[in-house]
Amino acid sequence: MLRNMGKRAISTWVFFFIFGSVLWAFEPDASMRTLEPQRPAYVSGELLVKYRPSLSDAAALYYQTHWGVSSVRRFKTIGVHHIRLPEDMTVEEALEVYRSDPGVEYAEPNYIRRACLMPIDPDFDKLWGLHNTGQTGGTDDADIDCPEAWDITTGSSDVIIAVIDSGVDYNYPDLAANVWTNPGEIPGDGQDNDGNGHVDDVMGWDFVDNDNDPMDSDDHGTHVAGTIAAVGNNSVGITGVCWAAKIMALRFLDAFGVGTTDKAISAIEYANDKGAHIINNSWGGPGESLFLKDAIDASAAVVVCAAGNTGTNNDSTPFYPASFSSANIVAVAATDQNDELAWFSNYGITSVDVAAPGTNIYSCRPARQTVWIDDFEGSFNWTTGGTNDTWNTTSSLSYSSSYSLEDSPAGDYQNDTESWAKTPVLNLSSYNGAKLEFKLRGISESYFDLLYVQSSPDGSSWTDQDILIGSTVYDAISGTFSGNWFTASVDLGAYDGSSTVHIRFYFLTDSSITYDGWYIDDVTLTAASSSYDGTEYQYMQGTSMAAPHVSGLAALIKALNTSLTNIEITAAIEHSVDPKASLSGLVSTGGRVNAYNALTPPSAPSSLSATAASASQIDLSWTDSSLNESGFKIERKTESGGTFSQITTVAPNVTSYSDTGLSASTAYYYRVRAYNWIDNSGYSNEASATTPAPPPSDSGRDICFIQAAAHQSFIGNHFICGVSPALVILLFGLVGFATGISLKHRRARPKA
């Protein structure tokens, strides 16, 4: 990616974006090597040819007579001949002959066409970003053309994509077959077999709780993973952009979507160490960390980053890691079903590279199970205590049924209260991804009278837990939450596998101002489940949802050509976008990614013309017929029957070139073709021009002179070489006549 370096600082927190809300949470290398292309399939020994109308019958007869081609049929309405080649002529050889013939308008292989591969997954029609038919009220074909791309490749299980996020539900039916497992680790032996500092990291690693279980307790990472590589064509749910790949689950965001830079760096280093080809970062924040950039720069992966969801310009207000200048980053904005920039999406003509679908994206949701619940309708079996303890159930307010838990059912709470209500002992020995959820409403003095949620492994040493309400994380609750019930949640993943867990609500007040206090209902402990009923899908939106479309595309490109580097894959993505007026000036490529473009060779340029500009220069111009070229190769020869050789390459979207240093009075022949990471295009038409003779030189006056013998004089100092003989005779006559008159007059003049 091309971008400017911004000022540097060190960041502590990074955040991810979801639903448009903040949770506190190549130019190609000119030396690009020859690739191993997959060419479009075509019928061997056949061509489709259109001759110029005035020459059509004669040209067809000529090729039949002199080259041994035969006619299969002629399409009368468009004047195209379907021909069969002689057995000793290849399609490539025939194309070179026909395309060098000025009597031929077009010649091309008889390409094999197939129905676009459509998966049989039942919810595929909900994936407008992959195939948009207007099914959601959007614009037909405002998508990344996945069915067309799947005719070329559907991916490979050799491609590893690290999802650095809130974890991944690795048991999920539509993901399990595509989940990466560590080949260097022996499951369950309690050893660090691969010596990477992580014991039994078979499924990846959880950098939040520092254990080997990267289960998703937030939904975000699993949704991202589904868009990238949900198993395709398996008659289950949805399909990812890449049907076959390996998702490496690395958890650094907690159940609230919050992570820190040190954990992000650890996850990236893990991905680098384990050979991830693509890293998806659907998160970010405003603080620039040089250490985070260093980790990305050291990666051999394509690093796909969400641009952010504040609707701001990243060029002026950077969002990291998307705004880093790292060459292997692809920064992604979000588009809607009409190919417009999503209302929430960040943008930046310098710092954001491409756009991808990011609104109303349907994907996987982890399955959850209820471990324990109390709606306070039965007997009250909590333990209460502390100073001014009045905790109990009440019927004055409730979220469900008739009762809720309240700190002071009889009225306002008291000053100088330090009381608590504790759940029964909870057992999480068989669970992972644990999370506490409850309903809350009430009021207390802001900043002074505080409600905490605390946890303990033994009932005596207590830890304050962060509380997520809406999109805000609180360390304690105070102020007003009235009028409606609010959903609150607490991440208890640190207690996964523990047989003894204590949870309590702890209320601490000062000595002034009291209020009604806090009502709590439907306290529920949930955990990840491996039981699914087919309803575990959901819609989300954000640049977090746009980025995985690009990661899936990167995986398809890598699957098609495993020799490509991260920089080449980045270039392939950025040079194959669908240009959109709605994105011009907003992202550096001005377009939305297109999977089919990224997997196909470019189209041949057309309308090549050559004009002699001087005795040593010929100017070329042509029409760019492609959207996905890496550049153009220009070839030249000096005889009509000679051999072409490449003289230079020019950048993508360039449609002219001046060939200089040529010889005068020489005919030059040219042809041009586009190239990209997949293959070369066919050749353009041939064009030729002849350089003129050189202009006369005025630097050597003795080179050209004419001596006037009759008058013993010469005019060479004033004579221009190249004048015709007739003009020379006329000039001599005029000079002689004028000289004669001059002498005559001189002789007739009387003496003084």
At 628, list the tokens.
């996905």
What span, in angstroms and rounded, lies between the C-alpha atoms of 671 and 609?
9
**What pLDDT, in 10s, does the model give residues 461-493?**
999 999 999 989 999 999 999 889 999 999 999
Residue that wins the pLDDT comparison between 688 and 17 = 688
- Which residues sit opposite 477 in a β-bridge? 451
Residue with tokens 């002199």: 66
* pLDDT mean over 372-399: 96
Q: How far apart (Å, rounded) are the C-alpha atoms in residues 340 and 334?
A: 9
**pLDDT range class, residue 370, cuts 50, 70, 90:** very high
Q: How much of the chain exceeds pLDDT 90, in percent?
A: 74
* C-alpha to C-alpha distance for 265 and 252, rounded to whole angstroms: 9
Indicate the angle between helix axes 290-297 and 261-273, nearest 10 degrees. 10
Q: How many CB atoms lie within 10 A of CB 158?
A: 12
Stretch among 307-316, 405-414, 736-745 having the lowest mean pLDDT: 736-745
Residue 721, pLDDT > 50, answer no
User: Which residues make Cβ contacts (< 8 Å) with residue 250, sequence separation at least 6?
Assistant: 162, 163, 164, 165, 204, 205, 207, 214, 267, 270, 271
Task: Strand 606-614: give its sheet, edge to edge.
Answer: 606-614, 617-623, 656-660
Amino acid of residue 274: K
pLDDT of 36 reads 33
Q: How confident is the model at residue 728 (pLDDT cuts 50, 70, 90)?
A: very low
Residues paired with residue 251 on neighbouring β-strands, in sequence order: 165, 206
The confidence score (pLDDT) of residue 742 equals 40
Is residue 205 over pLDDT 50? yes
Segment 665-693 shows an average pLDDT of: 92
pLDDT of 161 higher than 50: yes
Mean pLDDT for the stretch of residues 731-743: 41
Residue 724 has pLDDT above 80, yes or no: no
Is the model more confident about 36 or about 516?
A: 516
Residue 166 has pLDDT above 90, yes or no: yes
Pairing of strands 155-165, 278-281: parallel
In the predicted structure, residue 717 carries a pLDDT above the cut 50: no
* Nearest to 315, CA basis, from 4, 548, 13: 4
Residue 595 has pLDDT above 90, yes or no: yes
Total Cβ atoms within 10 A of residue 87: 7
Average pLDDT of every residue of the chain = 87
Which ranges in 78-164 belong to alpha helices (H)? 91-99, 146-150
* pLDDT tens digits, one per residue of 264-309: 999 999 999 999 999 999 999 998 999 999 999 999 999 999 999 9
Give the torsion sign (CA, 239, 542, 435, 423).
Answer: negative
Containing 261, the helix (H) or strand (E) segment is: helix 261-273
Q: Is the pLDDT confidence value at 702 over 70?
A: no
Q: Quick one: pLDDT at residue 67? A: 87
Q: What is the mean pLDDT of residues 524-552?
A: 96
Which of the pair, 128 or 112, is modelled with greater confidence? 128
Confidence of residue 709 (pLDDT cuts 50, 70, 90): very low
- Mean per-residue pLDDT for 452-458? 97
Q: What is the pTM of this model?
A: 0.78
Q: Which two tokens stand for residue 143?
A: 């998508």
pLDDT tens across 35-93, in order? 333 345 678 789 999 998 888 788 888 888 888 999 888 888 888 999 999 988 888 88
132-148 pLDDT per residue, tens? 999 999 999 999 999 99
Residue 705's contacts (CB-CB under 8 Å, 6 or more residues apart) are 714, 715, 716, 717, 719
Write down the pLDDT at residue 641: 79
Residue 698 confidence (pLDDT):
58
- What average pLDDT does the segment 395-419 reach? 96
Helix (H, G, I), strand (E, B) or coil at 717: helix
pLDDT band at 729 (very low <50, low <70, confident <90, very high): very low
Q: What percent of the chain lies above the pLDDT cut of 70?
A: 86
Confidence at 751, pLDDT banded by 50, 70, 90: very low
Q: What's the token pair of residue 548?
A: 């995985």
Higher local confidence (pLDDT), 490 or 602: 490
Whole-number pLDDT of residue 738: 41
DSSP 627: S
